[in-house]
Amino acid sequence: MPASLLAIPLLPLASFVLTLLLGKRMGTRAHWLPIVTVLLSFGCALAAFFRVQSGVIVNQDVYTWIQSGSLSVSVGFLVDQLTAVMLIVVTSVSSLVHIYSVGYMKGEAGYYRFFAYLSLFTFSMLMLVLGNNFLQLFFGWEAVGLSSYLLIGFYYEKKSAADAGKKAFIVNRFGDFGFILGLFLIFTQFGSLHYQEVFSRVGELEGQTMALFGNPVGLATLIALLLFCGAIGKSAQMPLHVWLPDAMEGPTPVSALIHAATMVTAGVFLVARCNPIFALSPFALNLITVLGAVTALFAATIALVQTDIKRVVAYSTVSQLAYMFIGCGVGAYSAGIFHLFTHAFFKALLFLGCGSVILGMHHEQDVRAMGGLKHKMPITYWTFLLASLSIAGVPGLAGFFSKDEILLMAFNTELAAGKFAWAIGTLVAFMTAFYSFRLLFLIFHGEFRGSEEQRHHLHESPAVVTWPLVLLAIGAVAAGWFGVPAILGGDNHWAHFLEPVLGHPHVHVSGTTEALLMGGSILAGVCGIGLAFYLYRLKPHLPGLLAERLAFGYRLVLNKYYVDELYDAAIVRPTLAFSRRVVLRIVDLACIEGVVNGLPRTIGSFAERLRRLQDGQVSHYLAWMGGGALALVVVLLVK
Amino acid sequence: MIPLSWYMALAAILFCIGVCGFLTRRNVIIMFLSIELMLNGVNLNLVALSHFLDSVRGQAFTFFIITVAAAEAAIGLGIAIALYRSRLSVHVDTINHLKG
């Protein structure tokens, strides 16, 4: 295996350790090592990508990690087409976010800690995508969860940030519980956790069932659903989406890197990686498709009315992730991964643009206090506009190609849920365009609504912040050009590249239908933009009026369908009550404390009595001694 | 010929007198003497058995015990004198400072 491949994850790891140990002394220069290592890592990833493109697939174990009975797990690397794409996404966005953070985090307490965590995250994510077995995937999976927790709670003095970190971690436990059960099932079934071994024998699952609560369930379906459980948690799909919007408490570069571009897409990666298993279970695929469609709609409606700019983008992320799941669900894994790829750029750009606005507004995040920033922050405005056009699906930009591919595949599939997902997906495309441009108009156009002081201090961000925006804007425009469909004169290079790993469903819709579908999604996007323009530029008083007219619906979506309140009442509070009443009172105070304190108390009181034997009177000792000797004699005689 | 049991009875009587004296008296010197009495009871036992079993082992043992007793008497008297000098008494009831 080439050393440059090993260097991809090991460089960020070294940077994490060194920065954590020495960063305090480096002070404001703590960012150099992480930036240089992640850039080198990006270079190595590019090299790996080109090697894959020339046809070299690496699948090699480098170290035996666990050897226990029949369980044998190694640390190994698999670099195929899918991994190569993920490597590019992770290292490129991570590099840009590292550089951006120099400007964004300037002067913050714990500057070195932030960069150390970023390196840790990059390492974990790279281990996740590079692994050639399920356990290494799981290691990376948990490690990115840990870095996410650390970075969400970066401002740990703030209670809301600490709570959000905890929430992200705990909600993910639910998904990971299913995930690890899935791994157990895979191991008991195949006796191995290596992808190659499992996927080459995946046919054995066919027709096998397992009794679950007395009902026979297909083994392939069960494994697929358990794995998907993990994906739901990590990729914030319903019903485990609640942690992602709260994760916006973290610094904005973290939201861009972890909670938009990379970590949250791990679930999509998991489903795509395990596509041979999912392919065996139409039920699981239907469920993924339906859940994706429902989540996409659900999150998009919430995004329509939120006023915190980061939350709008966060719900947009949930919605776009759901798109990727629709792609995977209908068997078009390469379309899902394509959207993952383009989304990484335009969504990271949206977040970083928000970060730039937040910097310019001196940590104001409420859209109601903004407006008219276009002239003060031109670079931020133009890049933000490109990202919004891209996510809205304007032809020629990245988001258009990937979204269109997913909608086409959803329409094309024979799965029962396909047409449903297509209809919802087109509706969501309209909503996406609307909320993206609502945000754009509210931030950058119209009159400034903030305070005088904010207006006075308003400024464009420094070059170290705007350059990553410009570079990402290139990605947001051009990332889609890898997958131009045949109908537009391209050769869909993307799907062909990924075909060896992910396969490609047969397209049987006619060219006319395809053109109509494409027209439909373009129309949806343009209508969305037009409506946003009408409501927020031409008739700015209308949105308030609408909110009054539809007060019930407005409150419902503004409060995110009360899902958090529901969970609070149904899960959080009963759990806390149970903890206080049973775990604390009975288990902790009565049982554990009883044993822990009771044991020394018993010994103490026994010792207190024993102590009195030694009273200093020699004759008493002698009497005891004589008595003992006599007792010995008696014992010997009786025996 | 005096039978073995007489010797052993005499040895037991000597030993018991020693034990009683040792447990009841409080004067360190007297307690030492009681120990000597116990040791000599044991010596008598050993010599008698040695004779009746026709083995010299018992007698050899006796010499060791006499030697130890002599050394013990020397050290014991030294301790008694040191005690008397520091506390002006050799009464064990008053020497009870080492206790739990």
pLDDT digits (tens, 9 = 90+) for A117-136: 999 999 999 999 998 889 99
Q: How far is A176 from chain B (nearest CA, A)?
A: 58
**Whole-number Å distance between alpha carbons of A29 and A48:** 30
- Out of A611, A612, A615, whose CB is closest to B96? A615
Query: Of A526, A546, A525, whose CA–CA distance to A536 is shortest?
Result: A546
- Which of A:620-639 have CB within 8 Å of B? 622-623, 626
Q: Which two tokens stand for residue B64?
A: 């060791």
Bridge-based pairing of strands A209-212 and A71-79 is unpaired
**H helical segments located in A191-303:** 195-200, 219-234, 243-246, 252-256, 266-273, 275-278, 282-303
Residues in chain B closer than 8 A to A630 (CB atoms): none
**Whole-number Å distance between alpha carbons of A572 and A556:** 21
Cβ contact, residue pair B96, A619, below 8 Å: no
Q: How far is B73 from chain A (nearest CA, A)?
A: 18
Query: What is the reported pLDDT for B18?
Result: 92
Rg (CA), chain B: 17
Place of tokens 């993952």: A340
Cβ contact, residue pair B92, A618, below 8 Å: yes
Cβ contact, residue pair B99, A616, below 8 Å: yes
Q: Is the pLDDT of residue A248 over 90?
A: no
Bridge-based pairing of strands A58-68 and A71-79 is antiparallel
Q: How confident is the model at residue B100 (pLDDT cuts 50, 70, 90)?
A: low
Query: What is the reported pLDDT for A143?
Result: 92
Query: What is the reported pLDDT for A219?
Result: 85
Q: Which residues touch B54 (CB under 8 Å, ≥6 apart)?
A: none
Q: pLDDT > 70: what percent of chain A?
A: 100
* Bigger pLDDT: A77 vs A613: A77
**Whole-number Å distance between alpha carbons of A508 and A409:** 10
Are A173 and A181 in contact, with CB atoms under 8 Å apart? no
Helix (H, G, I), strand (E, B) or coil at A76: strand
Least CA distance to B97: which residue of chain A?
A: A616
Query: What is the reported pLDDT for B60?
Result: 92
Query: Of A106, A372, A137, whose CA–CA distance to A273 is shortest?
Result: A137
Place of tokens 């009497």: A623
Interface test with A, best of B23, B24, B79 (most A CBs within 10 A): B23
**H helical segments located in A191-265:** 195-200, 219-234, 243-246, 252-256
Task: Name the maximum alpha-carbon separation found in chain A.
Answer: 115
Query: What is the reported pLDDT for A546?
Result: 80
Residues in chain A closer than 8 A to B99 (CB atoms): 614-616
Backbone angles phi, psi at A155, to 5 degrees: -90, 70
Cβ contact, residue pair A615, B92, below 8 Å: no
**Whole-number Å distance between alpha carbons of A260 and A555:** 26
Query: What is the reported pLDDT for A37?
Result: 92
Are A341 and A89 in contact, with CB atoms under 8 Å apart? yes
Q: Which residues touch A393 (CB under 8 Å, ≥6 apart)?
A: A399, A400, A403, A404, A429, A432, A433, A521, A522, A524, A525
Interface test with A, best of B16, B90, B99 (most A CBs within 10 A): B99
Q: Which two tokens stand for residue A10?
A: 């090991």
pLDDT digits (tens, 9 = 90+) for A328-339: 888 888 888 999
**Whole-number Å distance between alpha carbons of A116 and B98:** 61
Query: Of A631, B54, A347, A145, whose CA–CA distance to A355 is shortest?
Result: A347
Q: Is the pLDDT of residue A217 over 90?
A: no
DSSP-derived secondary structure for A389-406:
HHHTT-TTSHHHHHHHHH
Q: How far is A610 from chain B (nearest CA, A)?
A: 9
Are A237 and A322 in contact, with CB atoms under 8 Å apart? yes
- Which of A:53-112 have CB within 8 Å of B? none
**Whole-number Å distance between alpha carbons of A117 and A367:** 30
Are A445 and A367 in contact, with CB atoms under 8 Å apart? no
Burial of A409 (0-12, 13-18, 19+ CB in 10 A): buried
Least CA distance to A607: which residue of chain B?
A: B100
Query: Of A82, A94, A150, whose CA–CA distance to A122 is shortest?
Result: A94
DSSP letter at A157 equals T
pTM (2 d.p.): 0.80
Least confident of A13-17, A208-212, A405-409: A208-212
Cβ contact, residue pair A626, B98, below 8 Å: no
Bridge-based pairing of strands A71-79 and A215-218 is unpaired
Cβ contact, residue pair B19, A626, below 8 Å: yes
pLDDT digits (tens, 9 = 90+) for A379-394: 888 898 889 988 888 8
Least confident of A135-149, A432-446, A482-496: A482-496
Backbone angles phi, psi at A75, to 5 degrees: -85, 120
How many residue contacts between A and B have a Cβ separation below 8 Å? 29
**Whole-number Å distance between alpha carbons of A31 and A45:** 21
Per-residue b or e along A624-635, where b marks 16 or more CB atoms closer than 10 Å to that residue's CB: eeeeeeeeeeee
Query: Of A619, A631, A613, whose CA–CA distance to B19 is shortest?
Result: A619
Cβ contact, residue pair A617, B93, below 8 Å: yes
Cβ contact, residue pair A615, B97, below 8 Å: no
Helix (H) / strand (E) containing A439: helix A418-444
Query: Is the CB of residue A613 less than 8 Å away from at least one CB of chain B?
Result: yes
Helix (H) / strand (E) containing A83: helix A81-104
Query: Of A317, A316, A326, whose CA–CA distance to A293 is shortest?
Result: A326
Query: Of A192, A212, A214, whose CA–CA distance to A204 is shortest?
Result: A192
Q: Which contacts of A201-204 are long-range, i.e. CB under 8 A and separated by 24 or more positions?
A: A202/A276, A202/A277, A202/A280
Are A427 and A297 in contact, with CB atoms under 8 Å apart? yes
Least CA distance to A624: which residue of chain B?
A: B23
Are A267 and A235 in contact, with CB atoms under 8 Å apart? yes
Q: How far is B21 from chain A (nearest CA, A)?
A: 11
Q: How confident is the model at residue B69 (pLDDT cuts 50, 70, 90)?
A: very high
- Out of A611, A614, A619, whose CB is closest to B92? A619
**Whole-number Å distance between alpha carbons of A506 and A197:** 27
Point out which residues pair with A72 in neighbouring strands.
Answer: A67
Residues in chain A closer than 8 A to B22 (CB atoms): 622
ipTM for the assembly? 0.73
Residues in chain B closer than 8 A to A623 (CB atoms): 23
Q: Is the pLDDT of residue B39 over 90?
A: yes
CB atoms within 10 A of CB B70: 11
Query: What is the reported pLDDT for B63?
Result: 94
DSSP letter at A486 equals G
**Whole-number Å distance between alpha carbons of A374 and A428:** 27
Strand ranges for A85-220 from DSSP E: 209-212, 215-218
Least confident of A250-254, A288-292, A461-465, B19-23: A461-465
Least CA distance to A611: which residue of chain B?
A: B100
Q: Is the pLDDT of residue A563 over 80?
A: yes
Q: Which residues touch A63 (CB under 8 Å, ≥6 apart)?
A: A74, A75, A76
Mean pLDDT, chain A, whole residue set:
86
